[in-house]
Amino acid sequence: MFQNFRQSMTWLHTWFGLVIGFVLIVVFFFGSLSVFDREFDRWAIPETRFDPQPMPSFDQVLLPILQQLPPDELDYAANMATLHDDQQGPMTPRLELPVDEYWAYTTHRDPVLIMGSGFKVPLPKDPSLENHIHANMTIDPRNGATVSDDALKIGSGWFYPMHYSLNWQWKNLGIFIVGLAALVMLAALVSGVVMHRKFFREFFTFRPKKHTQRSALDLHNLTGVVALPFHFFFAFTGLVIFASAYFLPVSQFQLKGLHDRHEVMEAAETGLPHKAAGAPAPLASVDAMMAQAKRRWAERDMAGEIGFLTVHHVGDANSYVSVYRAGSDRVALVGEGIHFKGSTGELLFEDPSRSPVSEVNEFLTGLHLQHFEHWLLRWLYVLGGLLGAVCIATGFIFFVEKRKKQHAKAGTQGSRVVDALAVTTMTGMLIAAIGMLVVNRLLPADLGGKGDWEKWAFWGFWVLAMAHAFVRSAPVAQGRMNPAWREQCWAVAALAVAAVGLNWLSTGDHLIKTVFTHTYWAVAGVDLSLLASAGIAVWVARRLARREQAGQRSPLPAQADSDNSDNAAGVAHV
């Protein structure tokens, strides 16, 4: 099929990149936004615009709220019937479900605190499983006030899940698609290096004044090699992090007995009760346990705040409390957990030192998830993610520019379809994300189901961008540029400026205030990023207009420069 190994690598790189690139560019872009997901949350929910808070008193603030928290209605309706065994008796009413666990979580970037409860299903179909109906809520830890459940956390609740699951939760299908894309990306990275003969000249040359095909390939090579270690590392660690999800069917069925046995053995080794005793017992002061945990961390020369705590088997003699250290001062994703007997506050177990294998795993996981407090490194993550998106985008552009003249002569529509999909995925994705922020500021804060409206607006903007891209793609079939690129860049600029203006009008938090008088970088950073995006979009739109005019005066060359034809020899027939 191919004359040599290099041509086979060229074919693999081209078609793997084309087929899966539409997923990868979404993963890269929303991964970049996820680096500052909590900051987007602050922008989207104005009532949470205050300084990050430490874990508050559990006894005085959290426990009274958790004791009043009812099981979630939607979770009860969706899962109770499948968890409950009808043969044992009637289903327990929602408000009579017994509470089994409490938990609370915060980070150095979270002003608000997320917490919740798990409620037992009294007559479960499978007693060996942790059958729970859950209830979650977000509060202001300064006073215990509830943050509305309708307030969608656009950063951590939408942009971040889009990065690893495409917000497609059914059967974890989105996670599997992203995992496949990451695996294919590793093959594309290797083949992309192999297919180039003149390595240094091709990878470190950029000629922006050349015609679109040449400059797109130059930028594709440059962005690919500059961030090559970043791209390879994050594709690999992403696969490692979600390995348990990929093998979930195996672990759920074929390895279930081994897993259950391991849990029992682990409980015996650590002294942490695996199951409730069935005898009631009061809960001792969790605040005292928290204070003791902080003292023990300080004695080990690792003083820090509490990031996560959970109470297991609430109200039972086997109840125990786990307190985990916030890890914002380190890369490795570790919690240094300390566990106490719930009824007495007695120390039961302290997490031991980690094995070398565990150290490596936790370091790689922490480096990918970047929960640490290092702002410069966070911006480098953003840069690496955006370079990945640019690399894929220029690959699409090169693919279309190389073939559209040939396809126009043959009367085929391949280049037109790929170009419209590329517009949809790139500028359409920007329109959807920024349009969601605009709708967030337009809708009243007390609107019922506001978060659902914002989600529908996101998909609606993206669908409109796709329709526009296809409608305006007719010139591509004639070997010319799609005007949708330019027009959607103008739309990006307009929406970005509108988002900043609406934030000012609806909250009073304009840039002079958030930067100078009452500095609040979480909101100022989002506004400044939107304005920078608007400026770049205007600049790109103006350059595209000049390219369009030049293309109308003189047709694009049928072939690339001699430097380029050598790179793509393996796919010239496509």
Q: Look at residue 226 in the predicted model and tell me its pLDDT.
A: 86
Q: Look at residue 573 in the predicted model and tell me its pLDDT.
A: 31
Cα–Cα dist 168/134, whole Å: 21
Give the residues across from 320 on adjacent strands: 312, 341
pLDDT-derived band at 148 (thresholds 50, 70, 90) equals confident
Give the Cβ contact number of residue 358 at 10 Å.
Answer: 12
Q: Look at residue 566 in the predicted model and tell me its pLDDT.
A: 40
- Considering only CA atoms, which of 212, 155, 145 is closest in space to residue 31? 155
Q: Please report, rounded to a whole number, the percentage of residues in the chain having pLDDT higher than 90.
A: 63
User: pLDDT by residue (tens digit) across 36-50?
Assistant: 999 999 999 999 999
Domain endpoint, select from 335, 369, 403? 369
Residues 16 and 148 grouped into a single domain: no
Residues 23 and 67 grouped into a single domain: no
Residues 407 and 510 grouped into a single domain: yes
547 CB-near residues (< 8 Å, 6+ apart): 212, 481
User: pLDDT by residue (tens digit) across 499-529?
Assistant: 999 999 999 999 999 999 999 999 999 999 9
pLDDT-derived band at 493 (thresholds 50, 70, 90) equals very high
Residues 345 and 225 grouped into a single domain: no
* Stated pTM of the model: 0.90
Mean pLDDT, the chain, whole residue set? 88
pLDDT-derived band at 547 (thresholds 50, 70, 90) equals confident
Residues 28 and 81 grouped into a single domain: no
pLDDT higher than 50, residue 569: no
Q: What letter would DSSP give residue 351?
A: -
Residues 442 and 505 grouped into a single domain: yes
Contact 481, 416 (CB under 8 A): no
User: pLDDT by residue (tens digit) across 266-277?
Assistant: 777 778 988 899
285 versus 373: the higher-pLDDT residue is: 285
pLDDT-derived band at 290 (thresholds 50, 70, 90) equals very high
pLDDT higher than 80, residue 433: yes
* Phi, psi angles (nearest 5°) of residue 338: -125, 135
256 found inside a domain: no
Q: Look at residue 251 in the predicted model and tell me its pLDDT.
A: 58
Cα–Cα dist 493/178, whole Å: 29
**For residues 482-507, average pLDDT:** 97
Cα–Cα dist 380/230, whole Å: 10
Residues 417 and 538 grouped into a single domain: yes
pLDDT-derived band at 260 (thresholds 50, 70, 90) equals low
377 found inside a domain: no
149 CB-near residues (< 8 Å, 6+ apart): 137, 138
**For residues 367-381, average pLDDT:** 90
Domain region containing 178: 5-45+166-239+382-571
pLDDT-derived band at 114 (thresholds 50, 70, 90) equals very high
Q: Look at residue 557 in the predicted model and tell me its pLDDT.
A: 43
255 found inside a domain: no
**For residues 110-124, average pLDDT:** 94
Residues 387 and 355 grouped into a single domain: no
Give the residues across from 349 on adjacent strands: 339
pLDDT-derived band at 438 (thresholds 50, 70, 90) equals very high
Residues 275 and 391 grouped into a single domain: no
Residues 173 and 57 grouped into a single domain: no
Residues 134 and 188 grouped into a single domain: no
Tokens (6 digits) for 415: 């280049």
Handedness of CA 155, 156, 160, 166 (dihedral sign): negative
Cα–Cα dist 489/544, whole Å: 9
Q: Look at residue 572 in the predicted model and tell me its pLDDT.
A: 33
User: pLDDT by residue (tens digit) across 73-85?
Assistant: 999 999 999 999 9
Domains in the chain, number: 2
242 versus 206: the higher-pLDDT residue is: 242
Cα–Cα dist 417/415, whole Å: 5
Stated as kind and residue range, the H or E segment containing 347 is strand 347-350
pLDDT higher than 50, residue 559: no
Residues 329 and 427 grouped into a single domain: no
Domain endpoint, select from 369, 395, 419? 369
